[in-house]
């Protein structure tokens, strides 16, 4: 009976256009390989066009992953807030919704989930480029849920952007700022 309980973290990352959501999903899954027996990154793009809804699912698990498809996840990260009504329903009871506040017009209606509002666009713009909001939200997720160390994600960001020093610096700073926002709020 001394076996440790299996660990599993599943997350849906939702956005518009896809690049930001897909990149942080890939980073999370790639970094997850260092800690978990099984990792999964599953992209879902409605249409391959600018401004179209796009999301991905990531599963980090010590047990086999039965399916890449699931309706609800422990955590939903919304890099863009326009589809709140749809994605709010996809958070498991007791789960966490991390949402970009820029453009947020709706309010979260559920009281059985934890909601963390992150000013990703504003924060990233202050650092140098509003497009790095995805990294701000990734930092908030890692600091809140703790599925991996900050260092593991920073190593993966470095690997991905090592040929572009300006993007590397921007993304690391944005990631760290996201974690800092959550730490200060706690």
Hey, where are the domains in the chain? 8-185
pLDDT value, residue 53:
76
Distance between CA 74 and CA 13 in Å, rounded?
A: 11
**Phi then psi dihedrals of residue 81, to 5 deg:** -90, 0
Distance of alpha carbon 95 from alpha carbon 91, whole angstroms: 6
- Measure Cα distances from 92 to 42, 160, 183 in Å: 19, 31, 23
Q: How far is CA 84 from CA 77, 100, 179, in A?
A: 10, 10, 22
Would you give the DSSP letter of residue 82? G
What pLDDT is recorded for position 39?
Answer: 96
- Tokens at residue 127, please? 């650092």
Residue of 17, 19, 93, 13 lying closest to 57 (CA atoms): 13
pTM: 0.93
Walk along the chain (186 residues) in steps of 10 and give the mean pLDDT of each run: 68 86 95 96 72 86 90 95 92 97 92 97 96 97 97 98 96 98 92
Q: Please tell me the predicted confidence (pLDDT) of residue 2.
A: 44
Domain 8-185: state its class: alpha beta
């Amino acid at each position: 009976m001394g076996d440790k309980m299996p660990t599993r973290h599943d997350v849906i990352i939702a956005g518009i256009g896809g690049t930001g959501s897909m990149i942080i999903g890939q980073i999370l899954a790639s970094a997850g390989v260092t800690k978990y027996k099984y990792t999964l990154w599953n992209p879902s793009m409605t249409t391959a066009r600018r401004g179209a809804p796009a999301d991905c699912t990531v599963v980090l698990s010590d047990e086999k992953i039965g399916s890449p498809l699931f309706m609800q996840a422990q955590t939903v990260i919304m890099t863009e807030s326009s589809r709140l009504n749809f994605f709010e329903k996809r958070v498991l009871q007791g789960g966490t919704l991390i949402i970009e506040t820029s453009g947020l017009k709706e309010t979260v209606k559920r009281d059985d989930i934890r909601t963390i509002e992150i000013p990703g666009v504003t924060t990233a713009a202050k650092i140098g480029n509003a497009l790095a909001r995805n990294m701000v939200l990734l930092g908030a997720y890692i600091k809140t849920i703790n599925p991996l160390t900050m260092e593991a994600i920073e190593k993966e960001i470095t690997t991905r952007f090592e040929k572009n020093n300006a993007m590397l610096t921007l993304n690391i700073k944005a990631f760290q700022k996201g974690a800092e926002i959550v730490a200060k709020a706690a």
